[in-house]
Amino acid sequence: MQRRRFLKMVGTAAGTSGAVGEAFGRKPSGARTGWEAIGRVAVEHHRGNQISFRDSDTHITITVLAPDLIRVRFTPRRVSVPDYSWAVIKKNWPETHFQFSSDRTSSTIRTSEIEIRIQLTPFRLSCHDLEGTLISRDADSLGVARNGARVRCWKWMPADEHYFGLGEKAGPLDKRGHSYVMWNTDPGGYNATTDPMYQTIPFFVGLRQGKAYGIFFDNTYRSSFDMGAEFPDTYSFGAEGGEINYYFFYGPDPKKVVSRFTDLVGRAHLPPRWCLGYIQSCAHYSSEKIVRYIADSFRLRQIPCDAIFLDTDYMDGKRIFTWDKLAFPDPPRMLSDLRQNGFHVYAIVDPGVKVDRNYDVYRQGVAGDYFLKRKNGEIYTGEIWPGESAFPDFTSTKTRTWWASLVASFKKAGLSGFLCDMDEPTVDSLPLQEGWRPAALSDDVVYHDHGLNTLEAKNHNIYGLLMSAATRQGLLLAQPNERPFVITRATYAGGQRYAAQWTGDNLATWEDFRASLRLIQSMGISGLVFTGSDTGGFVFIPDRELYTRWMEAAVFHPLFITHNGAHWATDRSVDPWSFGQESEKINRASIELRYRLLPYLYNAFYQSTKTGLPIVRSLMLEYPGDPRVIEETPATELNELLFGDDLLVAPVVRSGETTRTVYLPAGTWYDFWRERKYSGPATIVVPAPLGRVPLFVRGGAILPTQQVVEFSGQAPIDPLTFEIYPEGTSSREYYEDDGISLDYQRGVYLHEDIVAASGSKVTTIKAGDREGSYLPPPRSIQLKLHAQQIAPSEVKLNGRELARVDDTAALETVASGTTFDGETRIVYVKFPDPNAPYDVQILAHTP
**Residues annotated catalytic, as ranges:** 421, 424, 505
Strand, helix or coil at 623? Answer: coil
CA distance 151 to 58: 12
Whether residue 274 contacts residue 304, with contact meaning beta carbons closer than 8 Å, is answered with no
CA distance 260 to 391: 35
CA distance 508 to 6: 12
In angstroms, how far is CA 788 from the centroid of its own chain? 37
Beta-strand ranges (E) seen in 325-435 are 344-349, 353-354, 373-374, 381-384, 387-390, 417-420, 427-428
Cα dist from 474 to 304, 398, 482, 489, 676, whole Å: 29, 13, 12, 18, 50
The pair phi, psi for residue 786, each rounded to 5°, is -85, 165
CA distance 441 to 219: 19
Strand, helix or coil at 58? Answer: strand
Strand, helix or coil at 702? Answer: strand
For the chain, helix (H) and strand (E) counts, in that order, are 15, 53
Cα dist from 521 to 210, 331, 551, whole Å: 19, 38, 17
Length of the chain: 847
Cβ neighbourhood burial of 518 (10 Å; 0-12, 13-18, 19+): buried
Long-range contacts of 127-131 (CB under 8 A, 24+ apart): 127/213, 127/248, 127/250, 129/211, 129/250, 129/252
Strand order in the sheet with 211-217: 42-47, 50-54, 58-66, 69-76, 245-250, 211-217, 203-208, 161-165
**Is beta strand 344-349 parallel, antiparallel or unpaired with respect to 417-420?**
parallel
List, in order, residues 6 or more apart from 379 with CB less than 8 Å away. Answer: 366, 371, 372, 373, 390
Q: Please, what sign has the CA dihedral across residues 238, 243, 244, 247? A: negative
CA distance 175 to 525: 13
CA distance 25 to 519: 18
Task: Using alpha carbons, select from 369, 435, 433, 361 the residue that is nearest to residue 398.
Answer: 369
Single-letter amino acid, residue 732: R
Q: What is the DSSP string of 725-774?
A: ---SEEEEEEEE--SSBSGGGGT--EEEEEEEEE-SSEEEEEE-PPBSS-
Radius of gyration from C-alpha coordinates of the chain? 28
Task: Using alpha carbons, select from 11, 18, 107, 24 the residue that is nearest to residue 60.
Answer: 107
List, in order, residues 6 or more apart from 759 with CB less than 8 Å away. Answer: none
List, in order, residues 6 or more apart from 256 with CB less than 8 Å away. Answer: 68, 212
Residue 252 preceded by cis peptide, ω within 30: yes
Query: Count of CB atoms within 10 A of residue 209's CB?
Result: 13
